[in-house]
Amino acid sequence: MKPLRTLAALLLLILAVAGCKVKDRGSLVIYTAVFQDHAVKVAEAFEKETGIKVSFVRLPAGQILAKVRGERDNPSADVWLGGPADTFVQAKKEGLVEPYISPNAHLIDDVYKDAEGYWTGVYAGSIAFVSNQKWLQEVGLPPPQSWYDLLKPQYKGMVSMADPRSSGTAYTAFATLVQLMGEEEAFAYMKQLDEQIGEYKTTGNLPGRSVGMGEVGTAIMFSHDGIKYYKEGFRDIVITFPNEGTGFEIGAVAIIKGAVHMEEAKMFVDWALTKQAQELGKQVGNYQLLTNKDAVPPEEAIPLSSLNVIPYDHTWAGENRERLLLRWEREVLSR
């Protein structure tokens, strides 16, 4: 009997060790610019599917870039998820992200990814005017249809947008203006727009809440974030687009250079490009367009094909980001 007991004990030990291995498949740290509810859903789903423990820190895209830059010799995170590709382009230029072409990259159209695999798009969305309909009625204005509508006297102190240094949303709007108008005209416009803005927010979606609460009249932000606030109960919100043309973001995912958990990071990128991963956002009320060819976007998402979208150059915007922001700081913010 004793040998049988010994064998049984050994089998139990083997099963216990095997069980531990299943439960502890490694870990992953993500810096993300997506909404908190979306990030939680992503972390839970990936952990459930792979057994990899996930933790995340949510920051605006510009702040993620600054954090990754500051930690380049000792990275604290493995993956960067969300925020416009412009910031990823600058990160690539500075050697802050790792090239990785996922076996699932063929699921993503070439326009939504870096050819060398430094970043891959997982969603997209357009810059819009998000306005408070009640305020517009009170001051006798129709919803804005032109960039120059925001320069009308009624908008004094009633336009909101984020700081393009910290916010990927605001930088996308900024780079849109430069590509649409030309640099000199765009800076002349932004100097006038600055007179209309009460305060620059840190994060690109916060102006939408201010609009919904009636604190400001119109915000320059992503249309999908405006839809989210509307669906969450801010029913005075109305969304319009500038007739001169608007820009759009490609929200991306990348592996941070020197990631401690490199294999787990690659597994996450592979997963993030799948249909099921990209469709998670709409389950918690997020309304971006999706880049996977088979993924079904939310019904409320506004297709780029229905808008007057400029041929927005994400590579140019990323490579010129630092120069343009320094000029904006010097000529617009410091006046």
pLDDT greater than 70 at residue 1: no
In this prediction the pTM is 0.90
Do residues 133 and 242 share a domain?
Answer: yes
Assess if residue 266 is contained within a domain: yes
Is the pLDDT score of 18 beyond 60?
no
Average pLDDT over residues 165-189: 98
Query: Please, where are the H alpha helices in 246-333?
Result: 262-272, 275-278, 314-319, 321-328
Computed over every residue of the chain, the mean pLDDT equals 93
Within-domain flag for 5: no
Q: Please say if the pLDDT value at position 2 is more than 60.
A: no
The residue-averaged pLDDT of 26-43 equals 97
pLDDT at 175 over 80: yes
Nearest alpha carbon to residue 61 among 334, 331, 335, 314: 314
Give the 3-state secondary structure of residue 244.
coil
Pair (224, 329) in one structural domain: yes
> Is pLDDT above 90 for 121?
yes
Whether 99 and 234 share a structural domain: no
The residue count of the chain comes to 335
- The answer to whether 82 and 33 are in contact (CB under 8 A) is yes
**Domain check: are 205 and 324 in the same one?**
yes
Residue whose C-alpha is closest to residue 91's, from 287, 257, 222 = 257
Q: Quick check: is 14 in a domain?
A: no
Per-residue pLDDT band for 334 (boundaries 50, 70, 90) equals confident
Residue of 308, 252, 293, 310 whose CA lies nearest to 117: 252
Residue 32, phi then psi, degrees to nearest 5: -140, 150
Instruction: Assess whether 260 and 243 both reside in one domain.
Output: no
Mean pLDDT of 130-156: 98
- CATH code of residue 156: 3.40.190.10
Q: Give the mean model confidence (pLDDT) for residues 237-241.
A: 98
The pLDDT assigned to 25 comes to 66
User: What is the count of structural domains for the chain?
Assistant: 2
Three-state secondary structure call for residue 98 = strand
Residues with Cβ within 8 Å of 291's Cβ and at least 6 positions away in sequence, in order, are 108, 109, 112, 113, 120, 121, 122, 123, 124, 250, 273, 278
Domain span holding position 280? 26-124+249-307
Question: Do 75 and 110 share a structural domain?
Answer: yes
> Based on the domain organization, do 163 and 277 belong to the same domain?
no
Position 242 pLDDT exceeds 70? yes
Model confidence over 267-314: pLDDT tens digits? 999 999 999 999 999 999 999 999 999 999 999 999 999 999 999 999
Q: What percent of the chain has pLDDT over 70?
A: 92
Largest CA distance in the chain: 93
**96 vs 4: which has the higher pLDDT:** 96
